[in-house]
Structure 1
Amino acid sequence: MANIASAKKRARQAVVRREHNMMLSSRMRTMMKKVIKAIQSGDKNAAVEAYRSAMPIVDSSVNKGLIHRNKAARHKSRLNARIRAMQ
Protein backbone atom coordinates (compact mmCIF):
# COMPACT_ATOMS: atom_id res chain seq x y z
CA MET A 1 0.00 0.00 0.00
CA ALA A 2 1.21 3.47 -0.85
CA ASN A 3 2.34 5.69 2.01
CA ILE A 4 3.20 8.88 0.16
CA ALA A 5 0.39 11.18 -0.95
CA SER A 6 1.53 11.30 -4.55
CA ALA A 7 1.68 7.50 -4.68
CA LYS A 8 -1.85 7.28 -3.26
CA LYS A 9 -3.06 9.68 -5.93
CA ARG A 10 -1.30 7.65 -8.64
CA ALA A 11 -3.03 4.52 -7.36
CA ARG A 12 -6.41 6.24 -7.56
CA GLN A 13 -5.67 7.49 -11.07
CA ALA A 14 -4.57 4.03 -12.17
CA VAL A 15 -7.92 2.56 -11.12
CA VAL A 16 -9.88 5.19 -13.04
CA ARG A 17 -7.70 4.86 -16.15
CA ARG A 18 -7.90 1.07 -16.06
CA GLU A 19 -11.71 1.19 -15.99
CA HIS A 20 -11.73 3.66 -18.87
CA ASN A 21 -9.30 1.58 -20.92
CA MET A 22 -11.34 -1.56 -20.26
CA MET A 23 -14.45 0.22 -21.53
CA LEU A 24 -12.66 1.32 -24.69
CA SER A 25 -11.23 -2.15 -25.32
CA SER A 26 -14.63 -3.71 -24.81
CA ARG A 27 -16.19 -1.28 -27.27
CA MET A 28 -13.56 -2.13 -29.87
CA ARG A 29 -14.07 -5.88 -29.44
CA THR A 30 -17.84 -5.48 -29.66
CA MET A 31 -17.59 -3.55 -32.92
CA MET A 32 -15.28 -6.18 -34.41
CA LYS A 33 -17.68 -8.93 -33.35
CA LYS A 34 -20.48 -7.10 -35.15
CA VAL A 35 -18.41 -7.15 -38.34
CA ILE A 36 -17.72 -10.88 -37.96
CA LYS A 37 -21.38 -11.59 -37.27
CA ALA A 38 -22.40 -9.64 -40.39
CA ILE A 39 -19.86 -11.57 -42.45
CA GLN A 40 -21.14 -14.89 -41.14
CA SER A 41 -24.72 -13.92 -41.91
CA GLY A 42 -23.74 -13.54 -45.57
CA ASP A 43 -25.04 -9.99 -45.99
CA LYS A 44 -22.24 -8.10 -47.71
CA ASN A 45 -23.87 -4.68 -47.40
CA ALA A 46 -24.34 -5.11 -43.65
CA ALA A 47 -20.77 -6.35 -43.34
CA VAL A 48 -19.42 -3.31 -45.20
CA GLU A 49 -21.44 -0.93 -43.03
CA ALA A 50 -20.31 -2.67 -39.84
CA TYR A 51 -16.71 -2.55 -41.07
CA ARG A 52 -16.94 1.17 -41.83
CA SER A 53 -18.33 1.91 -38.37
CA ALA A 54 -15.77 -0.29 -36.59
CA MET A 55 -12.57 0.92 -38.20
CA PRO A 56 -12.53 4.44 -36.71
CA ILE A 57 -12.90 2.86 -33.28
CA VAL A 58 -9.98 0.51 -33.96
CA ASP A 59 -7.90 3.46 -35.15
CA SER A 60 -8.75 5.50 -32.07
CA SER A 61 -7.69 2.56 -29.90
CA VAL A 62 -4.27 2.77 -31.55
CA ASN A 63 -4.08 6.51 -30.95
CA LYS A 64 -4.98 6.01 -27.29
CA GLY A 65 -2.28 3.38 -26.89
CA LEU A 66 -4.64 0.48 -26.17
CA ILE A 67 -3.35 -1.72 -28.96
CA HIS A 68 -0.30 -1.68 -31.20
CA ARG A 69 -0.70 -0.25 -34.69
CA ASN A 70 0.38 -3.54 -36.27
CA LYS A 71 -2.37 -5.41 -34.42
CA ALA A 72 -4.94 -2.90 -35.66
CA ALA A 73 -3.62 -3.20 -39.21
CA ARG A 74 -3.78 -6.99 -38.98
CA HIS A 75 -7.41 -6.95 -37.82
CA LYS A 76 -8.41 -4.44 -40.47
CA SER A 77 -6.68 -6.39 -43.22
CA ARG A 78 -8.17 -9.74 -42.24
CA LEU A 79 -11.71 -8.41 -41.86
CA ASN A 80 -11.46 -6.54 -45.15
CA ALA A 81 -10.18 -9.68 -46.89
CA ARG A 82 -13.12 -11.68 -45.52
CA ILE A 83 -15.55 -9.05 -46.77
CA ARG A 84 -13.93 -8.98 -50.22
CA ALA A 85 -14.11 -12.78 -50.40
CA MET A 86 -17.89 -12.69 -49.97
CA GLN A 87 -19.94 -13.41 -53.11
Structure 2
Amino acid sequence: MANIKSAKKRIATSERNRLRNRMYNAGVRTLVKKCLGACTDYGTHPDEAGRERLTISVRAAFSRIDKAVKRGVLHRNAAAHQKSRLSQAVKHALEPALPAPSANG
Protein backbone atom coordinates (compact mmCIF):
# COMPACT_ATOMS: atom_id res chain seq x y z
CA MET A 1 0.00 0.00 0.00
CA ALA A 2 1.20 3.48 -0.81
CA ASN A 3 2.40 5.76 1.97
CA ILE A 4 2.87 8.95 -0.03
CA LYS A 5 -0.12 11.28 -0.20
CA SER A 6 0.07 11.84 -3.97
CA ALA A 7 0.34 8.09 -4.59
CA LYS A 8 -2.79 7.50 -2.50
CA LYS A 9 -4.62 10.14 -4.54
CA ARG A 10 -3.44 8.53 -7.75
CA ILE A 11 -4.68 5.11 -6.61
CA ALA A 12 -8.10 6.57 -5.82
CA THR A 13 -8.25 8.33 -9.20
CA SER A 14 -7.22 5.17 -11.05
CA GLU A 15 -9.88 3.12 -9.28
CA ARG A 16 -12.58 5.69 -10.07
CA ASN A 17 -11.55 5.75 -13.73
CA ARG A 18 -11.39 1.95 -13.88
CA LEU A 19 -14.95 1.65 -12.61
CA ARG A 20 -16.22 4.31 -15.03
CA ASN A 21 -14.44 2.64 -17.98
CA ARG A 22 -15.86 -0.70 -16.93
CA MET A 23 -19.37 0.77 -16.93
CA TYR A 24 -18.96 2.15 -20.47
CA ASN A 25 -17.47 -1.10 -21.78
CA ALA A 26 -20.31 -3.12 -20.25
CA GLY A 27 -22.85 -0.81 -21.88
CA VAL A 28 -21.17 -1.17 -25.26
CA ARG A 29 -21.08 -4.96 -24.96
CA THR A 30 -24.74 -5.10 -23.93
CA LEU A 31 -25.95 -2.97 -26.83
CA VAL A 32 -23.80 -4.86 -29.34
CA LYS A 33 -25.31 -8.15 -28.11
CA LYS A 34 -28.82 -6.71 -28.38
CA CYS A 35 -28.10 -5.53 -31.92
CA LEU A 36 -26.74 -8.91 -32.99
CA GLY A 37 -29.75 -10.58 -31.38
CA ALA A 38 -32.08 -8.27 -33.29
CA CYS A 39 -30.22 -9.23 -36.49
CA THR A 40 -30.79 -12.93 -35.93
CA ASP A 41 -34.43 -12.35 -34.94
CA TYR A 42 -35.06 -10.33 -38.08
CA GLY A 43 -33.22 -12.93 -40.17
CA THR A 44 -35.51 -15.72 -38.94
CA HIS A 45 -38.79 -13.72 -38.86
CA PRO A 46 -38.57 -10.68 -41.15
CA ASP A 47 -41.36 -8.23 -40.44
CA GLU A 48 -41.75 -4.47 -40.12
CA ALA A 49 -41.62 -4.45 -36.31
CA GLY A 50 -38.40 -6.49 -36.35
CA ARG A 51 -36.88 -4.12 -38.87
CA GLU A 52 -37.75 -1.17 -36.62
CA ARG A 53 -36.20 -2.90 -33.57
CA LEU A 54 -33.10 -3.60 -35.65
CA THR A 55 -32.62 0.01 -36.74
CA ILE A 56 -33.22 1.30 -33.20
CA SER A 57 -30.72 -1.15 -31.72
CA VAL A 58 -28.08 -0.24 -34.33
CA ARG A 59 -28.50 3.47 -33.60
CA ALA A 60 -28.24 2.89 -29.86
CA ALA A 61 -25.12 0.72 -30.23
CA PHE A 62 -23.41 3.22 -32.53
CA SER A 63 -24.22 6.06 -30.15
CA ARG A 64 -22.82 4.21 -27.13
CA ILE A 65 -19.67 3.23 -29.05
CA ASP A 66 -19.11 6.85 -30.11
CA LYS A 67 -19.61 8.07 -26.54
CA ALA A 68 -17.08 5.53 -25.27
CA VAL A 69 -14.55 6.84 -27.82
CA LYS A 70 -15.28 10.44 -26.85
CA ARG A 71 -14.58 9.65 -23.20
CA GLY A 72 -11.38 7.74 -24.00
CA VAL A 73 -12.67 4.33 -22.97
CA LEU A 74 -12.36 2.79 -26.44
CA HIS A 75 -9.71 3.46 -29.07
CA ARG A 76 -11.19 4.92 -32.23
CA ASN A 77 -9.91 2.08 -34.39
CA ALA A 78 -11.44 -0.51 -32.05
CA ALA A 79 -14.72 1.40 -32.24
CA ALA A 80 -14.53 1.52 -36.03
CA HIS A 81 -13.96 -2.25 -36.05
CA GLN A 82 -17.02 -2.87 -33.87
CA LYS A 83 -19.19 -0.53 -35.92
CA SER A 84 -18.06 -2.19 -39.13
CA ARG A 85 -18.85 -5.62 -37.72
CA LEU A 86 -22.32 -4.47 -36.66
CA SER A 87 -22.98 -2.83 -40.02
CA GLN A 88 -22.02 -6.02 -41.80
CA ALA A 89 -24.33 -8.10 -39.59
CA VAL A 90 -27.22 -5.70 -40.17
CA LYS A 91 -26.62 -5.70 -43.92
CA HIS A 92 -26.66 -9.50 -44.02
CA ALA A 93 -29.85 -9.58 -41.95
CA LEU A 94 -31.65 -7.02 -44.11
CA GLU A 95 -30.42 -8.36 -47.47
CA PRO A 96 -30.14 -12.16 -47.41
CA ALA A 97 -27.29 -13.61 -49.45
CA LEU A 98 -28.09 -14.01 -53.13
CA PRO A 99 -27.35 -17.38 -54.71
CA ALA A 100 -23.94 -17.55 -56.37
CA PRO A 101 -23.99 -17.41 -60.18
CA SER A 102 -23.32 -20.72 -61.90
CA ALA A 103 -19.87 -21.26 -63.37
CA ASN A 104 -21.08 -22.69 -66.70
CA GLY A 105 -22.58 -19.57 -68.01
| TM-score strictly above 0.5 | yes
Question: Counterpart of 2:100?
Answer: none
Runs of 4+ in 1 over 2 A off after TM superposition: none
Q: Kindly indicate whether the alpha-carbon contact (under 8 Å) linking 1:44 and 1:83 is maintained by their aligned counterparts in 2.
A: no
| TM-score of the superposed pair, with normalisation by structure 2 | 0.76
Q: Between Structure 1 and Structure 2, whose CA radius of gyration is higher?
A: 2
Q: Kindly indicate whether the alpha-carbon contact (under 8 Å) linking 1:35 and 1:51 is maintained by their aligned counterparts in 2.
A: yes
Unaligned runs of 5+ in 2: 43-49, 96-105
- Give the RMSD, CA atoms, in angstroms: 1.2
2:29 matched to 1:29? yes
| TM-score of the superposed pair, with normalisation by structure 1 | 0.89
Counterpart residue type for residue 40 of structure 1:
T
Richer in helix (by share):
1
Unaligned runs of 5+ in 1: none
2:82 counterpart (62, 75, 86): 75
Q: Report how many aligned residue pairs link the two structures.
A: 87
Partner Cα distance (2:89, 2:24) in 1: 25
1:53 counterpart (48, 60, 71): 60
Partner Cα distance (2:88, 2:52) in 1: 15
